Amino acid sequence: MLNYILSRFFSALIVIFGVSCLVFLLIHMVPGDPVELMLGESARPADREALRVALGLDQPVMTQLLHYLTNLVQFDLGESIHQRQPITQLLAERIPATVQLALVSLVVAILIAIPLGAIAAVKRGSHWDQLAMGFSLFGISIPNFWMGPLLILVFSLWLGWFPVSGKEGLSSIVLPALTLGTAMASILARMVRSTLLEVLGEDYIRTARAKGLSEVQVVWRHGLRNAMLPVITLIGLQLGTLLGGAVITETVFSWPGVGQLTIEAIKKRDYPVVQACVLLISLSYVVVNVFTDIVYAAIDPRIRLGDGE
């Protein structure tokens, strides 16, 4: 088990290193000069050059990359070019909002997916099954940048039930959480349906029914309990996707999280902030995946045996 954990952490470090280098190089290839954005087009060439030297942008890209990786090893994310604040401080202000949105969206997805998938499995082939799978296909097909404005149009502008944007009170998180949660619920509902269908054909399910248990008891106490392992694994994997998808959703709803900070930094060509935000999202995704692999391997020893342990 220890070898399996170490191999997963080593793989995660390689992924994080690759993502750090790739993001750094891609950002520096994006057209636009942060110095011009800061000083404007009317600035004198001498002032531009002085600021470029002060920010270290006059050095070769590979020299900047080496300096960035050296600081990263020391857990130094640098300073924002535009706001002139430590990036760790900027992230500390934005992370709680993103975590809150991700967790609420996860709860929304679970509350929708488990009953929907269970009904589809129990009523297999019926209109309920078709409606559930139709909703699943609908949720997967619609991107967040379309679902978000649609919810704003209906529930904010037409009905006036929720705020259009911002983070003011509990009601402001409803529409962003629905935007993220419905997409994840669509994937989870299909998984719940498929795994529950397999479980409902097992001998112990027939035994439970033969004992006179009601269908609700059979499905919820015996069926779902044994069908949840693959679903829990998928939930762990999708949690990282929620953090990535929050970039678009936070922009649509002006939610003050890491996603919105990323978009703002891209517009301003604030290289250090963009790198830190993308690295944080990637790190979250990798950590969640590694933790999910370890939990799954602890529950099912065949996983780590399959890796040669």
CATH label of the domain that carries residue 244: 1.10.3720.10
φ/ψ (deg, to 5) at 86 = -60, 135
Is residue 111 located within the same domain as residue 253?
A: yes
Is residue 239 located within the same domain as residue 125?
A: yes
More confident residue, 219 or 249: 249
Query: Where is the domain boundary, 251, 267, 283?
Result: 267
**How many structural domains are present in the chain?**
2
Environment class of 190 (CB within 10 Å of its CB; exposed 0-12, middle 13-18, buried 19+): buried
Q: Average pLDDT for residues 237-249, to the nearest whole number?
A: 72
| pLDDT confidence of residue 304 | 52
φ/ψ (deg, to 5) at 85 = -125, 155
Query: Where is the domain boundary, 230, 245, 267?
Result: 267
Q: Is residue 41 situated within a structural domain? A: yes
pLDDT in tens, 148-164: 888 888 888 888 888 88
Is residue 111 located within the same domain as residue 33?
A: no
Q: Is residue 285 situated within a structural domain? A: no
Q: Is residue 221 situated within a structural domain? A: yes
CA pair distance 53, 271, nearest whole angstrom: 15
Is residue 60 located within the same domain as residue 110?
A: no
Is residue 165 located within the same domain as residue 63?
A: no
Q: Average pLDDT for residues 226-251, to the nearest whole number?
A: 74
Q: Is residue 306 situated within a structural domain? A: no
Is residue 43 located within the same domain as residue 96?
A: no
Residue of 96, 109, 92 lying closest to 236 (CA atoms):
109
More confident residue, 55 or 135: 135
Is residue 306 over pLDDT 70? no
Is residue 115 located within the same domain as residue 181?
A: yes
Could you tell me the pLDDT band of residue 188, with boundaries at 50, 70 and 90? confident
CA pair distance 32, 145, nearest whole angstrom: 25
Is residue 146 located within the same domain as residue 195?
A: yes
Could you tell me the pLDDT band of residue 267, with boundaries at 50, 70 and 90? confident
**79: which strand partners?**
86
Is residue 100 located within the same domain as residue 49?
A: no
Q: Which domain holds residue 37?
A: 2-73
Is residue 117 located within the same domain as residue 230?
A: yes
Q: Is residue 83 situated within a structural domain? A: no
How many C-beta atoms lie closer than 10 Å to residue 212's C-beta? 7
Q: Is residue 80 situated within a structural domain? A: no
Query: Where is the domain boundary, 21, 40, 73?
Result: 73
Q: Is residue 299 situated within a structural domain? A: no
Q: Average pLDDT for residues 56-63, to the nearest whole number?
A: 76
Q: Is residue 143 situated within a structural domain? A: yes
More confident residue, 87 or 240: 87
Residue of 242, 128, 225 lying closest to 187 (CA atoms):
242
Is residue 40 located within the same domain as residue 144?
A: no
Is residue 45 located within the same domain as residue 133?
A: no
